[in-house]
Amino acid sequence: MLSSRNTYEMGDTHKVRIKGWNKTFGASTDRKKAGVAIMISDKAKAQIDLIKRDREGKYILLKGSIVNEEISLINMYAPNGIASKFLIEKLGELKEEIDSKTILVGDLNQPLSNLDKSNQKINKKEVKEVNEILEKLELIDIGRKINRNKKEYTFFSAPHGTFTKIDHTLGHRNMTLKCRKAEIINAAFSDHKAIKILIGKGTWRAKSKINWKLNNMILQNQIVREEIIETINNFIEENDKGETSFQTLWDAAKAVLRGKFISLSAYINKLGRTEIKELEMQIKKLENEQIKNPQKKTKVEILKIKGEINEIESDRTIELINKTRSWYFEKNRQNRQRTG
């Protein structure tokens, strides 16, 4: 239901549109456009009562409700090199806003324990200071609470060949009681991985009606074109006997083709997911090898496989962009018809 982003163009706010995610809140600065943003799914039925932004675009805070349940959301980016001092300062600024309904996410550029770095060479003083203020605010690392001693990382430093967990999802002590699952997943076009949190079974769920529409991008696939042509030929051969009206024949053909497109789309998506899953398993294996025995060739292989994953995700993103464009075109056309 919720998505945070650590790169945002305030000047292009009107262009940041994704179908189903119309509520986008960002923070930036006049001098530097890079900032942070929080996107909320339309399905969440959210009401935002308060927005608080950092003047430098380093954090944004939202307070409101989702399906009548109160929540406070913070997305924060802590600059590299001064992360610990920054966190202590900014969390101090927000202490009056942090309550039992708070979730804080973002690139904090700061490990919170020895388990958050592969070589375990952390600045113990900085970690202690940050954890002390988190403890005062009753904020807990949700991923660590759920996964305990599990070693997983969100960032791979190619120059140093080290892995760290510097991206975190923190929740108030009371909020963490609702969290059921936390996992680190790959994020397309980013050198950081994402953290996915499952909050309470059924919490903030909303039913939605899905209307199927043909994805024109699928027609670029040679296998799909051949299958559809064969389906049409077989349908005509079996049903066009001159005894059925054209309209009835066409209605039946549309139903058959729709079913065929759905099955082909599912098949292609499954192939893509399987390929990405296999590549992710290879990365995980190589990452474990790199942690135990750092090697240059292993580091190069990790980066190579990440490139392959990004290439696959690029195709998916282009497809999503085209679908979103079509959706907005159709929406605007309908609006013009109503007002015309």
pLDDT band at 15 (very low <50, low <70, confident <90, very high): very low
Residue showing tokens 């030929």? 233
Of the pLDDT bands very low, low, confident and very high (cuts 50, 70, 90), residue 8 is very low
More reliable by pLDDT, 277 or 50: 50
pLDDT given for residue 62 in this prediction:
93
Instruction: Please state the domain extents for the chain.
Output: 2-199, 216-339
**Is residue 331 scored above 90 in pLDDT?**
no
Kindly give, in sequence order, each residue whose CB lies less than 8 Å from that of residue 57, ignoring residues fewer than 6 positions away. 8, 10, 27, 28, 29, 32, 34, 35, 36
Residue 299 has pLDDT above 50, yes or no: yes
Higher per-residue pLDDT: 75 or 321: 75
| Predicted local distance difference test score (pLDDT) of residue 340 | 59
The runs of H, that is alpha helices, within the chain are: 83-93, 124-136, 142-147, 222-239, 246-292, 296-339
Q: Which residue has the higher pLDDT, 8 or 104?
A: 104
- CA dist 144 and 42 (Å) reads 30
Per the confidence metrics, is the pTM higher than 0.75? no
Give the best-scoring range by mean pLDDT among 24-38, 186-200, 289-303.
Answer: 289-303
Q: What's the rounded mean pLDDT across residues 252-260?
A: 83
- Average pLDDT over the chain reads 79
pLDDT at 63: 92
- CATH number belonging to the domain at 2-199, selected among 3.60.10.10, 3.20.20.140, 3.40.50.850, 3.40.50.620: 3.60.10.10
Which of residues 127 and 274 earns the better pLDDT score?
A: 127
Q: Which two tokens stand for residue 338?
A: 């109503």
**Where do runs of H (alpha helix) occur along 12-147?**
83-93, 124-136, 142-147
